[in-house]
Amino acid sequence: MALFIRQNDNRSQLQERLAAELQERAKQKAQKADLPDGVTDSAYIKDTKQTTSLAWLWILIVLFVIGLVIWLTIATSAK
C-alpha cells in the first residue's frame, strides 16, 4: 500500500513538473507571437492599385451582355 501511495506522489510531482514546463513554453510562444494583423501588414497588398473610376462602366457592360444573352435565349426559344 505504501508503494502505491508513493507512485501517486511521483506521478503528481511529474505532472507538476510537466505542467510547469508546458506553461513556460506557452509563455515563450506568446512572447514570440508578433504576427501581422492581416490587413495593413500583409504582403499581398503590395503592388496593387485601387479600382478606377471606370469600374461602373465595366459593370454596365457585363449587365448588358447578360441581358442580351437572356433576350436572345427567350427570342429564339419562342419560335
8-33 pLDDT, tens per residue?
A: 556 678 888 888 899 998 888 777 65
DSSP state of 39: S
Q: Give kind and range of the element (H or E) at residue 73.
A: helix 55-77
Q: Has this prediction a pTM greater than 0.75?
A: no
**pLDDT score recorded for residue 28:** 83
Kindly report the number of other CB atoms within 10 A of residue 39's CB atom: 7
C-alpha grid cell for residue 5? Answer: 501511495
**Any idea where the domains of the chain sit in the sequence?**
1-31
- Contacts for 36 with CB less than 8 Å, ≥ 6 apart: 42
CA 42 to chain centre: 13
Find out whether 12 and 19 touch, Cβ atoms under 8 Å: no
